Structures are given as C-alpha cells and as structure tokens.
Structure 1
Amino acid sequence: MVKSNYKVIAIMSGTSLDGIDIMYATYKLNSGWEFEIHYAETIKYSKEWKFILSQLVNKSLEELVETDKSYSEYLSTVVSNFIKEQNIEAIDFIASHGHTALHQPENGLTLQIGNQQILANLVNHKVICDFRVQDVKLGGQGAPLVPIGDRLLFYDYDYCLNLGGFANISFEEDKERIAFDICPVNIVLNYFVSKLNLEYDDKGQLASQGKINNDLLIKLNELSFYEEKPPKSLGLEWVEINIFPLIESFNLKIEDILRTFVEHAAIQISKIVNRKESNLLITGGGVYNTFLISRIKSLSKSKIVIPENEIVEFKEALIFGLLGVLRERNEINCLKSVTGATHNHSSGKILSPNT
C-alpha cells in the first residue's frame, strides 16, 4: 500500500550562495497535499566554500568531479549535524537538490554537485536527488522544477514568484502550468554590492540612493532572452557573458548600477505579472529588498502577498522535499509544459545507503 504521510529532510543551495537551506517537514495526502515545516534553517557557507562554489564555471570536468565528492561529504556533515541538533528520529528519506555547477540544457548538460552515493552512505539514510538530469535527457530545460509544488501546495495564488539569484515565476494558463526564469536578480545585485565588502544591499537602501542610467536600462531590456518564449531558464554562465560585461562597460557608481538593475528586474517582472485582480505570492531572499518590492508593486497590476518568513525563506527546499515524495511514489514531478521535455515524468535518482 502506498503511504500518504512522509517525513522528509530537504536540502538545497541556491545560486546566490547565501548558504544551504535545510528543513524537516511532514507531507500528508488527504484531499490534496498538505505540509508542516517542523524545523528549518540556513547554514551559511564558509568563505572557502563560497569561493569554491563561485568558481565552479571555471573548473575543468576533472576538477568538478573532485568538488562533487568533497561537497557531497560536506552536505553529509550538515545533514548529520541537523539531525542530531533537532533530535530527529523518523526520516523516510533526504531530498537533495545539491548545488548547480553547470547548466547548459541546450547542450544536453546539467550538473548538480552534492548528490553522490557517499552522501547516502555517510548519513545512513535513503537520498532522492538529481532531479534535473532526466529532464534534460528528455529534451527539457531541467528547470524550473518548483512549479509542480506551486500547483500542489500553493494553488490559492494566481502567480508564484521567487526572488533568489534569479526571478522565476509559475502560473496556470489554459489548464497547463507555465513557468520560467524571468531575469537575474540577487546574483547580479550581490555581485556588485560585494565590491563594497557587503554581502547584500540591506532593504535595497543603496539602490534607492542611486540614479537610473537610461542607456544601460535600455540595453538590459533589449537582451534577446526576454523575447524568447518559455520554456526558458538562466544560469550563471549567461550572466557572466551577457550581464556583467555590459554593466561594467558603463563605468558607473555601485549605487547607480544597483538602482538601474532593480528597475530592470521590476520592469521584466511586471511585464509578466499583468493580470488585473490577480494575486502574486512572492518568496525568496529578494523579498527583504523592500525597495525592489516597492518597484514591483508600483509597476505591476497584481496584489502582492508576502507570506510568513518560513515560507519566504524555505519554500524552494519545501518543494524539493515534495519532488522527493512524488519520486518515491513514482508520480509526475516534472511537467513538460514547464521544462519543454518530451513528456511529463517522475524524475530523481534514488540512493540507498551501502551497509
């Protein structure tokens, strides 16, 4: 008999490199899926790990293999410490997104490090991971994967927007779930604010003090990605080729860069979120950039809803836990309408510990 109640630890690391999100939650299937988050926290990266992860796009395949192993070992320590500190006893499995090292779906490539067999062995629990690889093999983008969770857990909202390293959105259209990356956000803002020895622009205060450079804003808005039809997704490589050199060619003050890029992100988001009398759930670290939120409010037609901090910060980890549950049940967790794969499918590698 298939279970209807699962206790799961979910771990993921986003492109903004703010740390590892880890949470312990229960998922129950009644008339629909329900959840309860018991414990959740973000484990900040050491300077060493932050540097290693920021340089992944420059590594050779051999170096990535070695980093994959060491990162899997590191994740095992994080998970084991979490289990011990929270006195967690009942665990059905660990759902691991890992950290994206390489994402080139157009070349049939995607790599999330931290999903090696050694992780299952060291924590001595089943691990369900590598949710993107199968989708790319089926001709999909391998991203975004969160929309199935938006559909099953957050169906009360017309739009679900996550503001992390990238802004990505999901919504229903003609009875299909549509989702895609809209534009970069924190991956760019944090990069430029780091030049001032800051981790992030607190509440967007620096951006609010800057001036928009209209020439740069026009060039950003003219990038060809924004004209492409979904499914589509973004990665660090795209930002390093298309965004950083363009911005740096203008030789602007950091405040003016931040102000211009906030306006760019708000414009791109508001172009998508354009239904009157709709509601928009916003989560992710970008929620705390109150200046960015104010610009989205000003430009969009939707009523903006910001949930409790636990959902703001851990919604993606929560949904990757659900992806693990669906994979365990061999049910669809990747939607072709979202990724462009040849068909809907149940994706993820299942690793049982070697005893």
Structure 2
Amino acid sequence: MEQPRIYPMIGLMSGTSCDGLDMVAVTFEETSSTWNYGIHAAETSAFPTKLGKNLSTCHLLSAIDLAVLDVDFGKWMGEEVAAFCKKTKFAPLAIASHGHTVFHQPENCLSMQIGNGWSLYAACGVPVVNDFRSLDVRLGGQGAPLVPIGDKLLFPEYDFCLNLGGIANISYQVDGRQVAFDVSPFNLLLNHFANKLGHPFDRDGRLAEAGVVNHLLLKQLNELPYYQVQGAKSLGREQIDRDFLPLVTNSGVGDQDLLATLSAHMADQVAASIKNGKQGNGKLLCTGGGAYNAFFIHQLREKTKGHVEITVPSAHLVEFKEALIFALLGVLRLTGRPNCLASVTGASKDSCGGTLFGLIS
C-alpha cells in the first residue's frame, strides 16, 4: 500500500474586506491523486488599528509609505505566525501567504500583494511562499481566482464552490475542465454601506432585509460592463471604485435601500452564474463571511431552486477555506506542480506560481 506524503503547512489570508489575518495550521496527506487534510488550529488575528487603516487605504499611499507598509505588514504577520505556532505546538514545513492586495490590474500585467516575504521569514524563522499571482499575470492570465485548484483537489464532492468575501467568486467543472471567475462585488460594498449606517457589517443581512429594492438601480447594476465579459475575468478594488461605487453612491437611494438593492443584485448575478454552469441539480459549497448573511443565502436559495442544493459548512471551513487552500497552493509550489489553472485565468498555460523565501534547495 502506498504511504501518504505528509505536508504540515501554515496558510495565511488577508482579504479585501480587511477583517484581519486568517491563519490555518493544516496537515495535508497525499496518496496517488487523493488529497485529505486535517486542520489542527485556525484563528483570525485582528489588525492593530493603525495597520488596519493603512491596509484599507494602501492603494492611496505614496510609493515610500507603501514600501514601508509592505515591510511592516510582513514583520507583523511573521510575529503572529510565531505566536500561533508556539501556542498550538505546530511545526510547519512552510508558510503560504496570500498577502494583501493593493492593485489588481491584469490588463496592465499587474497584480500586487504586499506582506514582504523576507520580513515574514525573518520574524518567525519559517520558510515562506508568497506572490502567487504574478507569474499567471505575466502569462496573460487574470491572476485570479486562485482557489479553484483547491476546490478541485479538496472538495470534489461539490459541483460548485462559492466564496462570499470582499468579492464573490465561484468555481465549477465543465467537461472535466475547471472554470472559475469573480462573480460580483460582495462584502466590499455591503460593508461600506453598513458602515455608513453605523454598523461594522450587516449582521445576518437584517439591514438589507428591512430595506426596499430600487428596481431602476438594480437594472443599472445588472447591466454594468463587467457582466457582459465572458470567460476568464476578475474584479479588483479599482474597478469597483470606478464602476460600481459611483453608480450606487450617486443614485439618490438611501443607504438601507442600497443594501437591499445590492443584495438582490448580487443574488441575481450568483444565481445566473450557477444556472449557466449547466450542472443540473448539483451541490454547492458556500464559504466566506457572506455565508453568514442569512438574508442573502435565503435569496440565493429562492433564485436557484431546482439547480443546486446549497451547503453552508462548519464555521472553520466557512471562515478559513481560503487560507486552507493557500496552504495547499504552497505545497504544490514546493513540489513543483501547477497551482494556477489556465482554464480559470485565461493564461497561455498552467503554471506553478509563488516566490520562495528562506527555503533550502
């Protein structure tokens, strides 16, 4: 009997919602083409106030301030990982870090995530893999989404995997080929308008549920140019700030009704993506912070009846699936196997992306 290959890893995720740093200590077991995982521990470290503010506005910083933030953020992540490993008595082979996205402009061959790898390594002494997007972008791809290969290898029992983070993205297979894309903005916009109403986020979607959908704005949102693009596509903060936010902000609609309208719009777009997947009556795994938005999940279930059965898993998987999959991307990079799929990103070929820090060849 073949002995499984064992890979203890730390996965780090800092998403566009700026909720904090997700950390997962996980051991992967690989036998032939089968992957299993066991999560030893997982937690989210809240950003210190100044760091969190700088990360949320990092796309507006000067070049020197951004360079300093890159180093400071890497050091802070390394310190958090060191404390996490000491507390959990976990000894990882390496750390796989997504970093924090500043710019995402694949049309300009650019996708930039900060969280300096050398700073991270120096602060914790554990080898680091980061910068997973750049190679794919240089190969003509979107550099996103990156999680679909993890969906394929770790969650094959599901026909669809939907992540509701700052941006909603989905992945599924068509004729044995993995397909994935960013569906629409999600918490980046919902949290923005919840903040204006004095809330850090719209808990359970209660604010949206109490609002009234503005059907003119809903129509305008559903007709935005992004939704006319077919095939590989991804959303960056820049595109949301340029195309979505002005339309919503200048609509004259009250903030609570905006939340109701945005929720309806996002449910429309996710439902359309599922129906276009042509999977019949399949199974969908829903993760990310938006999976706790009960009002949105109810809307989505209503709009996808007869197409999918929606599963919201345990809190660990809801909150830490992306960090878990980045840990897997790190394993694939360390073992020299593709971790970015051209069928997803539109690149010229599959690639093995990621920059290594502190690793002995």
**TM-score grouping bracket, smaller chain normalisation:** over 0.9
Return the alpha-carbon distance in structure 1 between the equivalents of residues 186 and 359 of structure 2: 38
What is the deviation of 1:116? 2.6
Is 1:78 paired with 2:84?
A: no
For structure 1, which segment, 261-270 or 235-244, has the greater mean C-alpha deviation from structure 2 after superposition? 235-244
Shift of 1:172: 0.4
> Cα distance, 1:174 vs. partner?
1.9
The 8 Å contact of residues 11 and 21 in structure 1, kept in 2 or not, is answered as: yes
1:94–1:128 Cα contact (<8 Å) kept: yes
1:278 Cα deviation after fit: 1.0
For residue 175 of structure 1, report the CA deviation from its aligned partner.
Answer: 1.6
Contact kept in structure 2, 1:141 and 1:341, CA below 8 Å? yes
Question: Which residue pairs with 1:346 in the alignment?
Answer: 352
The Cα shift of 1:3 comes to: 8.0
Given the alignment of the two structures, is residue 92 of structure 1 paired with residue 93 of structure 2, yes or no? yes
Residue-by-residue CA offset, 1:237-278 (whole Å, 9 max, x unaligned):
111111111111122222100000000000000001124311
State the secondary structure of the residue aligned to 1:80.
helix
| Residue matched to 1:302 | 308
- Give the distance between the partners of 1:336 and 1:250, measured in 2 at CA: 38
Q: Secondary structure at the match of 2:98?
A: strand
Partners of 2:345 and 2:177 lie apart in 1 by 12
C-alpha distance in structure 1 between counterparts of 2:243 and 2:59, whole Å: 15
SS of residue in 2 equivalent to 1:243: helix
Post-superposition shift, 1:226? 0.6
Q: Identify the range of structure 1 (202-211 vs 41-50) with the bigger mean alpha-carbon deviation.
A: 41-50
The partner residue of 1:291 within 292, 295, 300 is: 295
Check conservation: 2:10, 2:23, Cα contact below 8 A: yes
Please give the alpha-carbon distance, in whole angstroms, between the structure 2 residues aligned to 1:143 and 1:61. 25
Structure 1 position 51 matched with structure 2 position 57: no
Q: d(CA) in 2 for partners of 1:235 and 1:41? A: 26
Q: Do the aligned residues in 1 keep the contact of 2:4 with 2:31 (CA within 8 Å)?
A: no
The separation in 2 between residues aligned to 1:80 and 1:209, in whole angstroms, is 44
> What are the superposed Cα offsets for residues 113-155 of structure 1, whole Å, 9 maximum, x if unpaired?
1133121122111111110111111111110000000000001
Once the two structures are TM-superposed, the CA of residue 66 in structure 1 deviates from its matched residue by: 1.6
1:277 matched to 2:278: no
The answer to whether structure 1 residue 235 and structure 2 residue 210 are counterparts is no
SS in 2 for 1:276: coil
Partner of 1:223: 224
Gaps of 5+ in 2: none
Match of 1:313 in 2: 319
Whole-angstrom CA distance in 2 between matches of 1:42 and 1:226: 33
Alpha-carbon separation, structure 1, partners of 2:4 and 2:140: 32
Amino acid at match of 1:270: A
Quote the offset at 1:229 in angstroms: 1.0
**Quick check: 1:117–1:353 contact (8 Å CA) kept in 2?**
no
> 244-253 or 138-147: which moved more?
244-253
Does the aligned pair in 2 maintain the 1:171–1:178 contact within 8 Å? yes
Q: How many residues align?
A: 352
Note the 1:254-269 alignment, pairs <5 A: 254-269=255-270
| Range 218-227 or range 300-309, more displaced | 300-309
Counterparts of 1:78 and 1:245 in 2: how far apart (Å)? 37
Match of 2:186 in 1: 185
1:4 is matched with 5
Aligned partner of 2:12: which letter? I
Between stretches 274-283 and 104-113, larger displacement belongs to: 274-283
Q: Is the 8 A contact 1:211 1:259 kept in 2?
A: yes
**TM-score (structure 1 length as normaliser):** 0.96
CA distance in 1, matches of 2:51, 2:191: 17
For 2:331, the equivalent position in structure 1 comes to: 325
- Which whole-Å CA distance do the structure 2 matches of 1:252 and 1:341 have between them? 40
Is the contact between residue 117 and residue 128 of structure 2 (CA under 8 Å) also seen in structure 1? Answer: no
Indicate conservation of the 8 Å contact 2:106/2:137, yes or no: yes
Corresponding letter in the other structure for 1:201 = D
Output one character per residue of 1:329-355: Cα deviation in whole Å (capped at 9) or x when no partner: 10111100011111111111111179x
Query: In 2, distance between residues paired with 1:82 and 1:217?
Result: 44
Deviates more, 1:274-283 or 1:138-147: 274-283
1:138 corresponding residue in structure 2 = 139
Provide the secondary structure at the position in 2 that maps to 1:8: strand
2:38 is matched with which residue? 36
- Runs of 4+ aligned residues of structure 1 deviating over 4 Å after TM superposition are none
CA RMSD of the aligned region, Å?
1.4
Amino acid at match of 1:280: L
How far apart, CA to CA, are the structure 1 residues paired with 2:226 and 2:302? 24
Report if the CA contact (8 A) 1:124-1:353 is conserved: no
3-state SS of the aligned residue for 2:99? Answer: strand
Q: One-letter code of the match for 1:116?
A: G
Aligned-pair distance for 1:33? 0.7
TM-score of the superposed pair, with normalisation by structure 2: 0.95
